[in-house]
Amino acid sequence: MTRSPRRTRRMPQVAGAGAAALLALSACSSSGSGSDAGSGSGKAGSDSSASSSSKLSGTVTVFAAASLKESFTTLGKEFEKDHPGTKVTFNFGGSDSLAAGITGGAPADVFAAASPKTMKIVTDAGDASGTPATFVRNQLEIATLPGNPDRISSLRDLTRSGLKVVLCDQEVPCGAAVRKALDASGLKLTPVSYEQDVKSALTKVELKEADAAVVYKTDVRAAGDKVEGVEFPESADAINDYPIALLKDAPNAAPAKAFIELVSSAAGQKVLTEAGFLKP
């Protein structure tokens, strides 16, 4: 007789719990059906995607060939604008010395070289992540003093006695390309100096310390009216491919990959071609 009252007290509680469960099921059923549920799911997906893209932060360190200075600086600013919270820092120089720095343990996220040969220094050391991709090409041009007072019109003209000509060091991609062009034309040229990178060679002409230098078309264009450019046909035999790679021990790999994607994108290619680079 004592059990019956317990049952009568428990039954309303069970019924109440059941009703609450039914109401919850009903609410779940109504919220999970129809087009609104689909759009809600889509919104969550887009929010997740936006959140993912906004997670990029920190500093991306890029080691890049000196000839990329102007265009990469522009792309770095665009990247920082597109990804608030990131910063892109550059180390521009001769590709051979940059490669040596990377294999020597210098902290960097991305390497953009002016030739496959200098990129191979890094890949052979096992310091690249994945396979490097060619993103642009570059062609040589003669840089003369404004107005071309020495009337230089060909590569052969650079061999004239008394003309002060500057070249890139032969270990630098620019210098190796010049050597290839000279060999193709059967010419011998003794410069007044060999410079460690293409910008240093160009600066000699800008400062009127040299009458001419063989550099890249992109460098002549970047110098504006400080120099005058002279094209020569042998340059077609010495066009350099520029590879780019994520480094294996990149301190900030995620934004580094995003920067490489920008370089290879239509927007990135537009900046590079406007600077005078050739498409890969």
Domain extent listing, the chain: 56-137+242-274, 140-237
- Residue 96 host element (H or E): helix 95-103
**What is the rounded distance in angstroms from the CA atom of residue 88 to the CA atom of residue 60?**
5
pLDDT of res. 55: 84
Using an 8 Å Cβ cutoff, are 87 and 80 in contact? yes
pLDDT of res. 10: 38
Task: Kindly report the number of other CB atoms within 10 A of residue 19's CB atom.
Answer: 10
Q: What is the mean pLDDT of each run of 10 residues along the chain (280 residues)?
A: 38 38 37 36 36 74 97 98 97 97 97 98 97 98 98 97 96 95 93 96 97 98 97 95 97 97 98 96
**What is the rounded distance in angstroms from the CA atom of residue 15 to the CA atom of residue 20?**
9
Amino acid at 58: G
| CATH number for the domain running over 56-137+242-274 | 3.40.190.10
Amino acid at 42: G
Using an 8 Å Cβ cutoff, are 93 and 196 in contact? yes
pLDDT of res. 54: 55
Q: Is the pTM of this model over 0.85?
A: no
Common-topology check for domains 56-137+242-274 and 140-237: yes
pLDDT of res. 266: 97
pLDDT of res. 160: 95
Q: CB neighbours of 81 closer than 8 A, spacing ≥ 6?
A: none
- Please, which contacts does 265-273 make with residues 24 or more away whose CB atoms are closer than 8 Å? 267/78, 268/75, 268/135, 269/135, 269/136, 271/71, 271/74, 271/75, 271/78, 272/71, 272/135, 272/136, 273/136
Which single residue is written with the structure tokens 């007072």?
Answer: 149
- Residue 136 host element (H or E): strand 128-138
* Domain 140-237 CATH assignment equals 1.10.3720.10: no
